[in-house]
Structure 1
Amino acid sequence: MEEYPSIPMERTGKIIRRAIYIFLQNYQYFTTTAALLAFPFSASILLSQALIPSSSLLSLLHSLLSSLFHAAGFPPSSQLFTILTVKLSQTTASSILALPFTLSSLIVAKASVIQALNHHKPSPPPSFSSFLSLYKPIIITQICNSILILAANAACFSLTVFAFNCLECLGFSSPNSILFVSATGAILYSVIIANAIIVCNLALVSSGMERCGGRVAILKACALIRGRTGTTLSLSVSVNMAMAAVEALFQYRVVGAYRHAKNPTSSMALEGIFIAYLNSIVIVLDTIVSCVFLRSCKTTCQIDEESKYYYQIEIQKQEANNLVKFKTSFC
């Protein structure tokens, strides 16, 4: 198998700076059309995370996951048991509540950004019908991404259950053994899910830029990030930290103030709208970063293929010259 050349770690900063430059170069379009299209999704995500702790859906999902993990052989005393049941139930509940906006607002917003950057030079503003034509391949990829995330969670779950069952069969049921397996499982789960999310984000951008949806876009994303795991993880961490900061700001300024005051005010509503708008800006920047990274991967692969092609031509020329010399000396 041929290895793609790895992108240096300092390339991460260059990609982020390039994405910010493109954003500022077309500031008016990205902060109006693209951000406003992503606003319903941003508001739904922030509101769903605020409403989830008091919702019956969360308690239902938590009880179902606890029963499932317990029946599969997870030790209830394990820290991994608590982490998985709490985080998975929260993530699933938030995804269910925001699903209509994910399939409409988020996809259309990403399509608008991708269409604007679909050339070597950004050319906004595109027409509404132009980036709406990207909706079909992107939504097919989004559905395949959901299946991929479910498969990644199922794989982590199966591996962890297998490890606990092996420990039980071998007689290692001490708290230290359970703690070691729990810590290892948590690290493995984080790495697998992080890589799956990176592949999904890159597949969405690839499906919009090349208009190929579904598993083809996912396979292309897997091929492009091969050998670039460090760069993709650092980019993902940077964007996720920005989103986490916006969500924490919403929890502190809006949700906390509402619980303290008990009655919503106009200032709370305006502040909530502004924070949701900031989250939309982060989503737009995330899409721009993915587009820039995808383009850099393609450029690197093309340069590598061209260098291999020229190297092959040089070898053929040398072989031809040696063959001519051999024939001349033989005659």
Structure 2
Amino acid sequence: MKKIMEDPSKIMRRSIHTFLQNYDRATTAAALVLPFSAALLLSQAFFSSSSSFHVRLNTLFNGAGISTSLDLFNMLSFKLSQTLSSSLLTLPFSLTFFLFSKAYVIKLLSDTHDSVYYLPLLKTHVCNSFLLLSVTSSAFALFLIASRNSYTIFSLASALIYSIILANATVISNLALVSSTSSSSSGGYTAILKACLLIRGRASTALALALPTNLGLAGVEALFQYRVVRSYYKEDRDIALIAIEGTFIAYLYALFLVLDTIVNFLFYQSCLKNVEDQKIGREDEYSIKIQICETENTKICIKCPE
């Protein structure tokens, strides 16, 4: 049967409506994830001011005989170094406040409010970390192989493939976190496999849904760099005012993280509904075929001269 998926704009509108309808509880969830968002923004600011890890990574590549003179390569290696450094620095916050907030939002939206969601989320989050690390390493290795040659078009193509693979892996990881809280899942790699099955034929919808929230998060990160980090190094404002404004920006980042969880949850529900509709459609089609066969057999029996 043909897969009929809900339009991404409808899911996004329902997500925003759900967010505004439960704004008081959404702010509570944002307060839970605020330490993580603040740590993430501060870690990125720290890394941008001290790129020693990036320099060591380039030194390692040069020692392996890989040219790092391309601007595209420098940009991707810097982003990879920034992501790895931020992930390591914010690991205690992601394993606690980030997952507590997700568990709170999912419990709010779920029908079963008596379930404990943290442990499945923790197992899936750890497995997601290994998955993203493996995917990033493999895709980046492809880019390095292409960069050994002097053909820029190969480097551009491999960079595009790297971005697509990483985007799909991130979408699967987010969906796996939500699916790990279902009663039929214990989390971990099982939730990742379930997310891979659910997202088949729906990858474009998932990417379209991830785009608005990721743009919002990127915009808040840029705002933090401009208003907080820049003012701190220029020393053009009082440190107390910078800290207060930084807290408000981190809280705005936390609100986008809450909205992202709501979007992923509603997308997961839409995938389940789509799978259920297909199952019912196949069962109806099968029952119609049985009825036709029974009717044909009845006609044959009537014609038989008994």
Give the structure-1-normalised TM-score. 0.86
State the SS of the aligned residue for 1:119.
Answer: coil
User: Paired residue for 1:170?
Assistant: none
Q: Which amino acid aligns with 2:8?
A: T
Q: Is the 8 A contact 2:146 2:155 kept in 1?
A: no
1:22 aligns with 2:18: yes
**2:165 aligned residue (158, 179, 192):** 192
Q: Number of aligned pairs?
A: 304
Range that drifts further, 90-99 or 111-120: 111-120
In the TM superposition, what is the alpha-carbon distance from 1:265 to its structure 2 partner?
2.6
Over 3 Å counting, the alpha-carbon distance change for 1:139 and 1:263 in structure 2 is: same
- Give RMSD over aligned pairs: 2.1
Per-residue CA deviation, residues 112-154 of structure 1 (Å, 9 max, x unaligned), is 000011129xxxxx7xxx67x3111101000100111011112
User: Paired residue for 1:100?
Assistant: 92
User: Paired residue for 2:3?
Assistant: 5
Instruction: Measure, in 1, the Cα distance between the counterparts of 2:56 and 2:24.
Output: 47
For structure 2, the residue ranges without an aligned partner over 5 or more in a row are: none
Q: Is the 8 A contact 1:30 1:113 kept in 2?
A: yes
Instruction: Map 1:1-331 to 2 at 5 A.
Output: 5-7=3-5, 11-31=7-27, 33-55=28-50, 58-59=51-52, 61-70=53-62, 73-119=65-111, 133-163=116-146, 173=149, 175=150, 178-210=151-183, 211-261=185-235, 264-331=238-305
Q: Which amino acid aligns with 1:266?
A: A
Q: Which amino acid aligns with 2:20?
A: L
Instruction: Measure, in 2, the Cα distance between the counterparts of 1:163 and 1:319.
Output: 59
Q: Which amino acid aligns with 2:244?
A: L
In the TM superposition, what is the alpha-carbon distance from 1:161 to its structure 2 partner?
4.3
Instruction: Measure, in 1, the Cα distance between the counterparts of 2:165 and 2:138.
Output: 9
Instruction: Measure, in 2, the Cα distance between the counterparts of 1:216 and 1:259.
Output: 46
Per-residue CA deviation, residues 237-278 of structure 1 (Å, 9 max, x unaligned), is 111000011111111111111122166432211111111111
Q: Is the 8 A contact 1:206 1:212 kept in 2?
A: no
In the TM superposition, what is the alpha-carbon distance from 1:62 to its structure 2 partner?
2.1
Instruction: Measure, in 2, the Cα distance between the counterparts of 1:269 and 1:158.
Output: 40
State the SS of the aligned residue for 1:190.
Answer: helix
For structure 1, the residue ranges without an aligned partner over 5 or more in a row are: 121-125, 166-172
Q: Is the 8 A contact 1:4 1:301 kept in 2?
A: no
